[in-house]
A and B are shown apart, each in its own frame.
Chain A
Amino acid sequence: DTGVSQDPRHKITKRGQNVTFRCDPISEHNRLYWYRQTLGQGPEFLTYFQNEAQLEKSRLLSDRFSAERPKGSFSTLEIQRTEQGDSAMYLCASSLVRSGEQYFGPGTRLTVT
């Protein structure tokens, strides 16, 4: 069991640039979640997939954010026209269907300058 992996671990970008993050879930897990965590706060839900279907999106996920999970395996989260307020840790988690046990990856720390 290799756990959830995320790439890159740290991304520094200039305001206005686009960035894309990747998450590889635990291999048999069919649910995949994205969260965002800012300093001193708990993670906040962004969106989740069951297999390749995106089932729910938070109001936090503005139209500059898009997530995909082609073929129900890895997922990507893209942020277009980044803003300084997008600076945060982006966390991915995975679980089995209808299991509350979500396992998190190490996160991607985004810094927008």
Chain B
Amino acid sequence: QKEVEQDPGPLSVPEGAIVSLNCTYSNSAFQYFMWYRQYSRKGPELLMYTYSSGNKEDGRFTAQVDKSSKYISLFIRDSQPSDSATYLCAMTLVGNEKLTFGTGTRLTIIP
């Protein structure tokens, strides 16, 4: 079993919909949680960075962390065709910045 599980999709939603992306993890020592966006044949781009449990909002993006359930989410409001990409969750231990990634979810926003 992988340390971080992420549904690979693909996920297709109409433009303007709310998108929910999720990851589960098995290592309770993870403390820092990130979401990256990766366009085809490009490097990952950092979207959200959170520490421990709670919510963080940045524009149309909201990240949620529930450490008790070992579950993290990324919500995208008012989705746009330009949001079409692969979304990767990543996490790391306190004091150890080696990132452990999920497999990524491929998202398509249909105009």
Contacts and interface: CB of A to CB of B under 8 A. Distances in A.
Indicate, yes or no, whether A interacts with B.
Answer: yes
A85 interface: no
A39 B1 CA distance: 19
A44 B101 contact: yes
A95 B44 contact: no
A6 B102 CA distance: 23
B103 A98 contact: no
Interface in B14-47: 32, 34, 36, 41-46
B43 A41 contact: no
A112 B49 CA distance: 35
Q: Which one of A4, A31, A35, A102 has the greatest number of beta carbons of chain B within 10 Å?
A: A102
A104 interface: yes
Interface stretch (B59-67, B73-81, B88-96): B88-96
A31 B95 CA distance: 13
A42 B97 contact: no
A100 B103 contact: no
Contact of A42 (B41, B49, B92, B101): B101
B42 A45 contact: no
Nearest to A9: B41
Contacts of A105: 43
B32 A109 contact: no
B54 interface: no
Nearest to B102: A42
A42 B8 CA distance: 10
A104 B45 contact: yes
A60 to B, nearest CB: 12
Nearest to B6: A42
Interface of B: 4, 6, 8, 32, 34, 36, 41-46, 49, 51, 88, 90, 92, 95, 97-104
Interface pairs A-B: 8 shortest CB-CB: A42-B101, A104-B43, A100-B32, A106-B43, A104-B44, A45-B98, A107-B43, A42-B103
